[in-house]
Structure 1
Amino acid sequence: MIPPKPESRQERVSLWRYMRLFRRDILSAQPQKLYHAWMAEFKTPFFRSYMVNDPALIDVVLKLRPDDFPKSDRVGAGLRPVLGNSVFLTNGEVWRRQRRIIDPSFEGGRLRETFDAINAAVDAALVRLAAARNPCEVEFEASHATADVIFRTLFSVPIEDKIAAQVFDAFRRHQRSQPILNLAAFIPLPRWAPRFFKRESLETAQTIRSLIREMTEKRLKEIDAGTAPDDLATKIMTTVDPETGDRFDVEEMIDQVAIFFLAGHETSAAALSWALYLLATHPEWQDRVAEEVADWEPSFAALSQLRVTRNVFRETLRLYPPVPMMVRETVQPEEFRKRVVRKGAQVVLSPWHLHRHERLWDRPDIFDPSRWDDPASQESQRQAYMPFSAGPRVCTGAGFAMVEGVLLIARLTKYYRFEPVDGRVPVPEAQLTVRSRDGIWLKVTPRG
């Protein structure tokens, strides 16, 4: 069984057709040749775009010279109403300062401290799944579970908390109303120019930021009073930049909480949904996970025992990387594969195509978690696997996501069996993350 994959577009289409395809789904807007090409150039009247699949060039952009390829605001413009000036969108010294304050809260020792909160969210997810309708739309359940993880680890409140529930609802409405790519993705506009956002998008963004402000200001008062819980929000808000001695002010913290929620909840939900679907359609692997966790008791130390489950999650991230594409911009003329690249060109790095590249992976479209134990696959894993990006801008929460994903897969599979629903094959499509066009529907039954 080959997991679902979007159909590629025709080789040549008009710019207008391409823009329409791109706004609907950035994956099916791409031609088939990108699964084989080392590089492809896309020309518009306003800019040049280069998709890079050559591992050596990817290393230059992400690892060797990252300052020469800052994040492009063509994508960021669509996210600023809710994310502001968060670490996901910034560049240069602003980004470095933000990372100096954020990174210590996600180091190994502190990651261990979040385990009980993550596990409590999984407990709640197991209870909700028992009461869910069958067949079950697992994307919604996964979104609920991963949002609960974020609220418990960040602010020590479950998703049932009134403000947490309002933030969750507002984010869902915002994502339905606002495609990530707006006019600025195709036409160079100055920062002051209007972006023509929908009214609903601006209203939901304002709601989200107002609710986060309320939680942030409450936490600042608790920190001042010495009553704040020792969670991620407290750690980040009390961390001092070692170079400047500064801390995040309220506005900066609102920006960071917004991206923690969007990145930590939306990407994790997408990965978990696809993992459950892949297990449902590959029952032999689901049985192997269930066998591995049958007598397993959750703890941070015991996670290292879950080799099969971890390989299932890795393979899910290969086939369905939550963030399918990343866009950088050149700050000076470059030469890529003997081709002149002008200053201001867009450099597209696509985990989606890299992870399925025909020259880099054996049977790239097949779900095969055993490849992660195969020595012959090690070079592909090293060169062509970057679900969390790479280099200095690798996702701060990569370790957190691996703990969360493995734990959720392990415990959900321990207590429930997942089976596909006839006639409901999910169709992957992507805006910010790789989701299913009409949800992912599975039969969910308790294990005996």
Structure 2
Amino acid sequence: MTPLPPKPEARPDRVGLLRYLRLFRADILSAQPARLYRAWMAEFRTPFFASYMCNDPDLVDLVLKSRPGDFPKSDRVREGLAPLLGRSVFVTNGATWERQRRIIDPAFEGGRLRDTFPAMWAASGAAAARLQAQAGAEGVVEIEAEASHAAADIIFRTLFSIPIEHETAAAVFHEFRRYQRTQPLLNLAAFLPLPRWLPRPHRRAVRASAARIRALITALTAARAAEIAAGTAPDDLATKIMTMADPVTGARFGIDEMVDQVAIFFLAGHETSASALGWALYLLACDPAAQDRAAAEAAAFPQTPGFADLSRLAFTRNVFREALRLYAPVPMMVRETTRPETFRDRAVAPGAQVVISSFHLGRHERIWDDPDRFDPDRWTRPETRPASRAGYLPFSAGPRVCPGAGFAMAEGVLMLAAILARVRLEPVPGAVPVPVAHLTVRARDGIRLRVIARDPPSPAR
């Protein structure tokens, strides 16, 4: 029987506000009580606002699918991420968000995904080669760092047609790693009763890191605008988005707004993918039988595949889906009520925070069979279908579903296949990773795995 994957430590059911804030600052997930893995709803009150975590599938559907306009993104989340994301599509609401999605969505349609496939495969092969080079008698690798490198490489190759070795790409990557470790999804100022027009305070290091990232992205975006004007721009995602006119207004993104969007593409397309890849590799290392099955698919995969060949990686895809279920990269989505509501016979006032926890839903005891078990084959069983509709939200749902969901699934499966074709992974005794959540769900002290080259390796990968 596969050992249970680690989950966050849970706090006692009742703690005071000050202790909760200290726990929250350290890790959003371990600040929550264990009962949330079986409760349909929980209420948390501060002196300044009320918050409701909703695990009831009917409430999740109400907020995300039935009436999403009545539950906009919370200003508390927007203010927490404003130094980096500005007014990106991740944090905007209403007409601004609708206009941004009309421009962004066409770049991630199925046909466009085929266009990015060769760059994804090239980056995946480069990541596998880096891991293979580190294999050996010792061969212990901090896998989260490698996953971050690989995911960043895919983003830069598909977005700006440059590899991670490019000077600016490398600088963005290293600065973003620094930012991720210091910035939670909600900063503590989100709990304060500040006027809506007054920006929330941020730590100086957070502001400085965000400013450096945005300056680097601005340089890339301005250079691409010049290439577009000169007719020399490559046909990649950045060019597609920057030249796409809003079908309603005819307007295009300017430099500043494009910088906002690139920042969230990097956050959503690099940080979340790196999180999922790291946990997927750890889960496979702990389950040799599952790893052998995925490696067999990888060995049979064409050395120069086409987009249609992704269908050959059915088990590998289920491994990645199971990693997303157990370790949803974005653990919580926060919405806000705009009018009086009734949740499970409880009156909810306007201005309340509504938390949809994709992490708790993915392990909810009343939704999933054996929820803490790593079981890729559950995705082939009929009884999983209703559970997945009720409790699988790694990319959100409804109108605000992540536009890059298909992109993320393709790159995750490709990276797993490329890596498993070259190396075998084993857990390091005593090095059990502890999941914590800041911007995404990562391991508190990283994920260390032993990397062993497969014999013989695939020379053309």
Aligned pair 1:146/2:151, yes or no?
yes
- For residue 6 of structure 1, report the CA deviation from its aligned partner: 1.1
Aligned pair 1:354/2:361, yes or no?
yes
Distance (Å, rounded) in 2 between the aligned partners of 1:438 and 1:249: 40
Matched residue of 1:78: which SS? helix
Q: 1:197-236, aligned counterparts within 5 Å? A: 197-236=202-241
| Partner of residue 336, structure 2 | 329
- For residue 103 of structure 1, report the CA deviation from its aligned partner: 0.2
- For residue 185 of structure 1, report the CA deviation from its aligned partner: 2.0
Aligned pair 1:385/2:387, yes or no?
no
2:435–2:442 Cα contact (<8 Å) kept = yes
With the length of structure 1 as denominator, give the TM-score of the two structures: 0.98
| Partner of residue 116, structure 2 | 114
Distance (Å, rounded) in 2 between the aligned partners of 1:60 and 1:203: 39
Find the partner of 1:124 among 112, 117, 126: 126
- For residue 202 of structure 1, report the CA deviation from its aligned partner: 1.3
Q: 1:288-299, aligned counterparts within 5 Å? A: 288-297=293-302, 298-299=305-306
* CA displacement, residues 90-112 of structure 1 (integer Å, 9 cap, x when unaligned): 00000000000000000000011
Distance (Å, rounded) in 1 between the aligned partners of 2:207 and 2:386: 45
How many residue pairs match? The answer is 448
Q: 1:29-68, aligned counterparts within 5 Å? A: 29-68=31-70
Matched residue of 1:435: which SS? strand
Identity score, percent: 66
Distance (Å, rounded) in 1 between the aligned partners of 2:428 and 2:36: 31
2:183–2:439 Cα contact (<8 Å) kept = no
Q: 1:233-244, aligned counterparts within 5 Å? A: 233-244=238-249
| Partner of residue 435, structure 1 | 442
- For residue 191 of structure 1, report the CA deviation from its aligned partner: 4.3
1:183–1:195 Cα contact (<8 Å) kept = no
Matched residue of 1:188: which SS? coil
- For residue 176 of structure 1, report the CA deviation from its aligned partner: 2.7
* CA displacement, residues 239-298 of structure 1 (integer Å, 9 cap, x when unaligned): 000000000001000000000011110000000000000000011100111112212113
Residue identity opposite 2:238 in structure 1 = A
Q: 1:6-405, aligned counterparts within 5 Å? A: 6-132=8-134, 134-193=139-198, 195-297=200-302, 298-405=305-412
- For residue 179 of structure 1, report the CA deviation from its aligned partner: 3.1
2:11–2:33 Cα contact (<8 Å) kept = yes
- For residue 192 of structure 1, report the CA deviation from its aligned partner: 4.4
1:178–1:197 Cα contact (<8 Å) kept = no
Distance (Å, rounded) in 2 between the aligned partners of 1:326 and 1:194: 21
- For residue 194 of structure 1, report the CA deviation from its aligned partner: 5.1
Distance (Å, rounded) in 2 between the aligned partners of 1:49 and 1:233: 38
2:228–2:239 Cα contact (<8 Å) kept = yes
With the length of structure 2 as denominator, give the TM-score of the two structures: 0.96
2:4–2:373 Cα contact (<8 Å) kept = yes
Matched residue of 1:118: which SS? helix
Residue identity opposite 2:157 in structure 1 = R
Matched residue of 2:80: which SS? coil
Distance (Å, rounded) in 2 between the aligned partners of 1:428 and 1:242: 43
Matched residue of 2:383: which SS? helix
The CA RMSD over aligned residues, in Å, is 1.1
Distance (Å, rounded) in 1 between the aligned partners of 2:184 and 2:389: 32
2:132–2:423 Cα contact (<8 Å) kept = no
- For residue 178 of structure 1, report the CA deviation from its aligned partner: 2.8
Query: Could you list the runs of 5+ residues in structure 1 that have no partner in the other structure?
Result: none
Distance (Å, rounded) in 2 between the aligned partners of 1:192 and 1:73: 11
Aligned pair 1:426/2:428, yes or no?
no
- For residue 394 of structure 1, report the CA deviation from its aligned partner: 0.2
Distance (Å, rounded) in 2 between the aligned partners of 1:404 and 1:91: 28
* CA displacement, residues 25-69 of structure 1 (integer Å, 9 cap, x when unaligned): 111111111111111111111001000011111101000100000
Distance (Å, rounded) in 2 between the aligned partners of 1:312 and 1:176: 27
Distance (Å, rounded) in 1 between the aligned partners of 2:195 and 2:90: 20
With over 3 angstroms needed to count, the CA separation of the structure-2 counterparts of 1:300 and 1:274, relative to structure 1, is: same
- For residue 195 of structure 1, report the CA deviation from its aligned partner: 3.0
Distance (Å, rounded) in 2 between the aligned partners of 1:361 and 1:180: 26
